[in-house]
Every structure is written in C-alpha cells, then in structure tokens.
Chain A
C-alpha cells in the first residue's frame, strides 16, 4: 500500500445563492488557493478529477466548463465522476495505488441555487415506481427519520438536540452558512419540513466549490509541513428502493466503515478524535453514528461534526469532499474551531436518497504504512 496524504484544501464559504458568479467562477479561486496552500503550480499536478452532476448544474456537460478553469492546457490526464466529489477523491487515491499518478487535484462544484434542488432530486429515484409518486428528498428523508424514531424511540427533542449541537459548532466555522447558534428549544419551534423533520433539523441547500489536493509519499512531505495521511477508505452502494432496505439503519455505511477501519488498523470509532459526517438531517446523523459504531446520542466519544456539519451548510456534490477538507483542517492544525490534540479522524460522504451510497475514510497525522 502507498501512503497518500491531503496536502491542500480550499473551500468557497457556503452561501444560499451566489447571484454574481457562475459555478466555475466560484471554483477557480479555490483552485488557486489550494495550489498556493501547497506551494506548487498546476504543472506539478499529475491528475485531475471532478465531482458534479449535470442536473445540479441545470445543463448538460456542466463539468466541461470546469475543465477550462482547472488548468487543462496543455492537455491533462483527467476524469469526471457524476458523484459527490469525495468519491472523486477516492478514485484519485485508487489511481495512486495503481501507480498511475503521484499528485492529484480534486474539485467539487455545482449551482443548486439556480433551481429547486429538493424537487430536482425526485429525478434521482427510479422513474417507474418511486419517482412517479412524487417523492422528493425531504419526503424520503422524513420516511427515513420516521423509521429511525420508530425503532429507537428517539423523539422530537432528541433531533432538536443533535441539530442544536451542530448549529453551535457551525457558529465557530467561518465557511458555514448558518452562523447563528440556535438552541434545541428554538429549533423545536421551527415549522415542519416534512413531519417528523422540522426545518431546523435539515441541511440548508447552499452553493460552494471545493478544491483538495492529494499527494503520495515522497511528494506529500515537500508540499506540506502537515500532510494528513489516509489510513483507510472504503465505499459501498445499496439498493435504492426504500422498501427493500431497513431505512432506520445504514447497512452500506456500516460496511464501508468496517472495511475502512480494517484497512486503517482501527478497532472502533472511539479510537479517533473527531468524526465529520455527511448527515443531511439530524436523524441521519444518529443513523450514521450508529453505523460507524458510536452511540447515537450524547458526548464523551470523538467530537462529531466540529465544523457544524451539513446542518450548518451543505452544497450538493461537494458536501462529502467538505467533510474530508474539514478533517484535513483539524489534523493539520488549520481549523478555526480546533478539536484539542486531534490526531486521527473519520470523514464520511454519502449520496442518493436516505443514505444509499456511503464512503468512509480514516485519516491521521502519521503515515499508515512503513
């Protein structure tokens, strides 16, 4: 196995809608900042891979425009995934294991504020059964929350508590969208998004763009004084059909975590100092905590979403990569809201309705393999 590290990261602060810039105009400064962060020019990067979705861009071939700001001249080795950009980072890591590149630039972008993301995500469901009945992301998330609450007995107050903790953390993250803390009692007064999820328990859809740079051992140390090493990673998809899964759990997140821990030599999630989860609702956070082997509620273990998580700001197709970036900030000592003595962390990304497809990373500030 090859040691690979994150050596740079830049994110455009979340905003609900950026009315003055296109998605590529938001992306370009992040690429420049990330390159500056690791002190190299574009020519030092062997490979580039983007994560975005044409439906989020509201056009066909949205990613083709991004190629223009990625420094693709003279021509570059490249790939684009129609997935959250965290999955693009996973592929770049695989490519380094294959020995096909030593450095890679990963970008995530989109412009969900131009459309109604919640309704657009109806088109993600199979068109014959689930899509045809008009389900959108809010409804499938609510079905999932109901299933979780029915199984565990969690109530409205529990969801409010999870959301309030994220909002308090978000207040210390300069890139967050919702920077005002809110108490559980206040959040319990917000109107239903779709019962049992209140608006205060659901991630606000924002715009952003992200650039992250990976480098293999040998290059990574030269590009960063504080590289953050990948110790383990795995991703798993499961069936989409809501009726064919136990929505109160996330089997694929559990399996991805298990495999990633195995690669990382980590026994349990309690062996890490912080966890960044792509939880789009308070209920998803509880389901994911359980899936990676943490208690669904309460403090005491690793810090959960010290960035405020998606509940403080989320941008379709970038949210997962932001989790990886937030872990990089924490473990490299660059976080505005540092977790004390953080040395090892978990980052999680998801896509699809009700946590259909999950990706789990374990990272640390020491090399994994000698």
Chain B
C-alpha cells in the first residue's frame, strides 16, 4: 500500500515586497508555469491541484483559490485548499504527497502563495479577539517572549541573533530568487533599530509577494524523467493546542514529535551526521538556534553554540537555510513550501549557486500558529 512519491518539478517566482507587475493569478501562474516546465509537463498531465496560503485577510479575498481555478489549470479537476497558519506551505506539499500515495492521483500540482502587498500583514496578524488582550504587535510581538525564555534557559549571548541574521543574508546572496540579497554584517544588524527586544529590525523576516509550485508524481512516472527527481522519504504534520498546562513554546512537543516521525520513517537515527542540509522556518533570527534543538540536531542548550562555531554556515557541517530562508524571503503562505521545495532542489542537485555539495538527504521544515503547527519532510536523491 505504501507507494513511493517524488518531486519531479519545482518552480518559484522572483520574490519582492511588491510584485506590482502581476495580479494574484499572474503571480501564481508564474510559479506553476515554471514548475510544469521544469517537469516537462503541461496542465493536462495534472490529476489534482492542492493550494495553500495563510489567512485570506492578508489579501482580502475569501478562498481566493476559487477565482484562481483557471490560472492553476484546475478546471474540472479535484482541488483542495489547505490552511494551517504559517506552516501551510509545507502542509500543502505533504497533502499533495498523500494524494499521490493514495493511488487515486498520479500527478499532483501543489501550490503555495501569498501576495502581501495586497494588504497589511501587521494588521491581519494582530487579531482583536473577545476576552483576549490585543497585542497589536504582529507575529514579532507574539514570539518575542519565547525567544527571551530561550535566552534565559540556555544563557545564550546576545550576538547569536545578529549572527544568524547576517548569515542568512550571506546565503540569500547566492539565491537569485530571494527577496533580500544585499549583504550585511553582524554590526549592521546590531546597529538596526530594536523592534521587540531582543529582535531588531534586521532580525525579522520581510513581507514578500511570491509563490512556489511543486509537481509530485508516483514512482513509475517519476522514473520517466526528464530529470532526476527528489524522493519523498517521509512527511508529517502535527499540531498542539494553544492553551494546555505543561506546554513548552520554546521546545514544542509537536515539533519534536513531527521530527521523530519523519526521521523514523526515513531511517534517520543521527540527524546531525546523516542529514546534509536543512531548510527550516526561521522568521525571527533566534528561531534558528531554537529549532536546531527542537528538531534533534543537538541537545537542549547547544543550538546557539552551533551558530557561534559557524557549523550551520554554507560549506560547513550542516548548512542551514542555504537559500537564505524566511529571514530573506517571506510570502507567508508560500514560505513553508519554499523550505520543502529548496530541500528538494538540493537533493536533485539543482540549487544553483547555493547548492550544498553532494547533498543526498535533506530536511524541510515549517511551523505556524503560536508555535503549534509543525510540518516536515525528508527528501533524498535515492529512492527507498
């Protein structure tokens, strides 16, 4: 019953703060055209379409996939719309994998997008709920207390955040699609205005317009080419409640469980030494150190030391976010699929200037909600 699934095409847009040259449909189309071209396929070869994006209030259109049916070639086809907060891009890809694995669909187009310039993310992400004190502080204000708790627990020095931010920008310089590519030093970051202590302006993700699409196929079709596919070894999506006694937002149980599930299914027992590169969801600098621990790449309290030693840099032991990651490109709904898609490009050997040499096994990761939603996959250059 367990069918092998592979990524046979990857296409993303050039990301920027305002893609005024394209409508929402045009932006999504740019990614799907590139993904299909990459796979050597046409819209007629696709059996089902899965779309994902973050809250519809970001663009002000309810269930926008309904007006995008034509743009994504879903007319008279099955279509699914996923929304799992910030992790949605990744869970959309995992949903696509399940569709192929079910044997009901042989080729699936998975698309994730956000056109943040259509609205105001700070407004949309500062909900004013009955009986809950409004933070009016967006995602940064929400996640800062978790970062402060991390620093307090581990005794991490203050320069770790700026080091992560500067390294991400260095990586994005090698990624032609990234939104923010101008180099910046640790000093530049440290000198930028403080937004939510300890997060400075240059330690936050941008608001981007962008989309990514993946073509997923079953084993037989994937082996037909035209290119070497990325084999999906495992994938999972986990959630935990917002309000539950004993919850640990710094080291969430759902993240640990998700990582354990995908590693076990992919036969990974020693992630630090077996995984060649990881694309993880780092919207604010410090999360890179936090997720290194949560995803089992090191023990608790060791994540910031990896950063201090530079072992997560491009060309080092475990390159983290060689694409530059969310800190340099953040079309929210697409950000998770960008992580998974970039991981796939690495094991396909087609990441261009930011290719990690000899990458055979890669991890893609995204999170969302109040550090509640986790979605990951493990991709490999080799079939099972």
Report A's interface with B, CB cutoff 8 A. 2, 22, 53-55, 59-61, 63-65, 67-68, 72-83, 87, 91, 94-95, 97-100, 120-121, 123-128, 130-131, 234-241, 244, 251-252, 255, 351-353, 356-357
The answer, yes or no, to whether B117 is at the interface (CB within 8 Å) is: no
Interface status of B266 (Cβ within 8 A of chain A)? no
A314–chain B nearest beta-carbon distance, Å: 17
Decide: A67 near B76, CB < 8 A? Known: A80-B83, A124-B63: no
CA A82 to CA B58, docked complex, whole Å: 14
Question: Do A76 and B238 touch across chains, with their CB atoms under 8 A apart?
Answer: yes
Residues in A neighbouring B104, C-beta threshold 8 A = 94, 97
Q: Which residues of B contact A240 (CB under 8 A)?
A: 66-67, 69-70
Contact present for B238 and A357 (CB under 8 Å): no
B195 interface hit (Cβ, 8 Å): no
* Set B69, B84, B103: member contacting A80, Cβ < 8 A: B84
Q: List, sorted by A's number, 27 A–B pairs whose CB atoms are closer than 8 Å.
A: A54-B57, A55-B57, A60-B55, A61-B127, A61-B369, A64-B370, A68-B241, A68-B243, A74-B257, A75-B374, A77-B236, A78-B237, A79-B84, A82-B82, A83-B80, A95-B98, A98-B99, A123-B60, A124-B61, A124-B67, A127-B60, A131-B61, A237-B79, A239-B70, A241-B70, A251-B76, A351-B63
Residue-by-residue, is B25-50 near A (CB-CB < 8 Å gives 1, otherwise 0)? 00000000000000000000000000
Which one, A59, A82, A239, contacts B63 given CB within 8 A?
A: A82
Would A120 and B62 count as touching, CB distance under 8 A?
A: yes
Given A76-B239, A77-B237, 9 further pairs, Cβ under 8 A:
A55-B62, A64-B242, A72-B239, A73-B247, A74-B253, A75-B239, A81-B80, A241-B70, A357-B66
B305 within 8 A of A: no
Q: Is the CB of A99 within 8 A of B2?
A: yes
CA distance A152 to B308 in the complex (A): 75
- A65's closest neighbor in chain B, by CB? B242
Q: Which residues of B contact A64 (CB under 8 A)?
A: 85, 242, 369-370, 372
Q: Which residues of B contact A351 (CB under 8 A)?
A: 63, 66
Whole-angstrom CA separation of A316 from B91 in the bound complex: 24
Q: What are the residues of chain B within 8 A of A234 when measuring CB–CB?
A: 78
B23 at the interface (CB under 8 A from A): yes
Query: Is the C-beta of B178 less than 8 angstroms from some C-beta in chain A?
Result: no
B153 within 8 A of A: no
Contact with A along B116-144 (1 / 0, CB 8 A): 00000000110101100000000000000
Which residues of chain A are near B76, meaning CB under 8 Å?
236-238, 251-252, 255
Residues of B within 8 A of A251 (CB): 76
Q: Which residues of B contact A255 (CB under 8 A)?
A: 76
Report the bound CA distance from A60 to B142 in whole Å: 15
Give the distance to chain B from A121, nearest Cβ to Cβ, in Å.
Answer: 7
Question: In the complex, what's the smallest C-beta–C-beta distance from B241 to chain A, in angstroms?
Answer: 4
| Residues B60 and A81 in contact, CB atoms below 8 Å apart | no
Partner of B240, one of A61, A75, A98, A237: A75
The 9 closest A-B pairs by CB, nearest first: A126-B67, A75-B254, A97-B102, A60-B55, A78-B239, A98-B101, A99-B1, A98-B102, A237-B79
Q: Which residues on the A side are within 8 Å of B61 (C-beta)?
A: 123-124, 126-127, 131
Task: Tell me whether B148 is interfacial, beta carbon within 8 Å.
Answer: no
Residue numbers in A under 8 Å from B329 (CB-CB) = none
Beta-carbon contact of B62 and A53 below 8 Å? yes
Judge whether B346 is part of the interface by a CB distance below 8 angstroms. Answer: no
Q: Which residue of A lies closest to B126 (CB)?
A: A60
The complex places the Cα of A241 from the Cα of B56 at a distance, in Å, of: 19
Chain A contacts of B237 at CB under 8 A? Answer: 77-79
Give A120 to B56 CA distance when docked, in angstroms.
12
**B95 on interface, CB distance cutoff 8 Å:** yes
- When chains A and B are docked, how far (Å) is the Cα of A162 from the Cα of B57? 37
Residues of chain B within 8 A (CB-CB) of A79 are 82, 84, 91, 95, 237
B43 to chain A: closest CB distance in Å? 13
Q: Which residues of B contact A97 (CB under 8 A)?
A: 102-104
Residues from chain B with Cβ under 8 Å of A54 in the complex: 55-57, 62, 83
CB distance from A49 to the nearest CB of B (A): 10
A residues near B334, Cβ cutoff 8 Å: none
Known contacts being A55-B57, A75-B257, is A123 close to B62, with CB within 8 Å?
A: yes
Q: Closest residue to A252 on the B side, CB-wise?
A: B76
Interface positions, chain B 139-163, Cβ under 8 Å from A, are none
Residue of B nearest to A251 (CB): B76
Q: A59 contacts B129, CB within 8 Å?
A: yes
Q: List the B residue with the shortest CB-CB distance to A91.
A: B80
User: Hey, which chain B residues are within 8 Å of A65, CB to CB?
Assistant: 242
> Which residue of chain B is the closest to A235 with respect to CB atoms?
B78
Instruction: Name which residue of chain B comes closest to A353, CB basis.
Output: B66
Contact indicator A87/B60 (Cβ below 8 Å): no
Q: Are A94 and B99 in contact (CB under 8 A)?
A: yes
Give chain B residues whose Cβ lies under 8 Å from the Cβ of A72. 239-241
Give the shortest distance, in Å, between A172 (CB) and chain B (any CB).
Answer: 34
Q: Are B125 and A53 in contact (CB under 8 A)?
A: no
> Measured between C-beta atoms, what is the minimum distance from A54 to chain B in Å?
5
Closest A residue to B67 by beta carbon equals A126
> How long is the Cα–Cα vector from A73 to B243 in the complex, in angstroms?
10
Q: How far is the CA of A61 from the CA of B142 in the complex (A)?
A: 14
| Interface status of B77 (Cβ within 8 A of chain A) | yes
B244: nearest chain-A partner, CB-CB: A73
Specify the chain B residue showing the minimal Cβ separation from A73.
B244
Contacting residues, chain B, for A75 (C-beta < 8 A): 238-240, 252-254, 257-258, 374
* Chain A residues closer than 8 Å to B95, beta-carbon distance: 79, 91
Q: Is the CB of B238 within 8 A of A78?
A: yes
B74 CB–A CB distance under 8 Å:
yes
Tell me the minimal C-beta distance from A194 to chain B in angstroms: 20
Query: Does B317 lie at the interface of the complex (its beta carbon under 8 Å from any beta carbon of A)?
Result: no
- CA separation between A238 and B76, bound complex, in Å? 5
> With A and B bound together, what is the CA distance between A66 and B238 in angstroms?
14
Q: How far is the CA of A352 from the CA of B68 in the complex (A)?
A: 12
**In the assembly, what is the distance between CA of A91 and CA of B82, in Å?**
11
Asked whether B369 lies within 8 Å of A352 as measured between CB atoms, the reply is no
Known contacts being A68-B241, A82-B81, A95-B102, is A356 close to B127, with CB within 8 Å? no
A91 to B50, CA, bound (A): 11
Residue in chain B with minimal CB distance to A61: B85
* Residue from B91, B102, B124, B240 with most neighbouring chain A CB atoms (10 Å): B102
A68 near B244 with CB under 8 A, answer yes
- Asked whether B23 lies within 8 Å of A128 as measured between CB atoms, the reply is yes
- Tell me if B75 counts as interface (CB < 8 A to partner A): yes
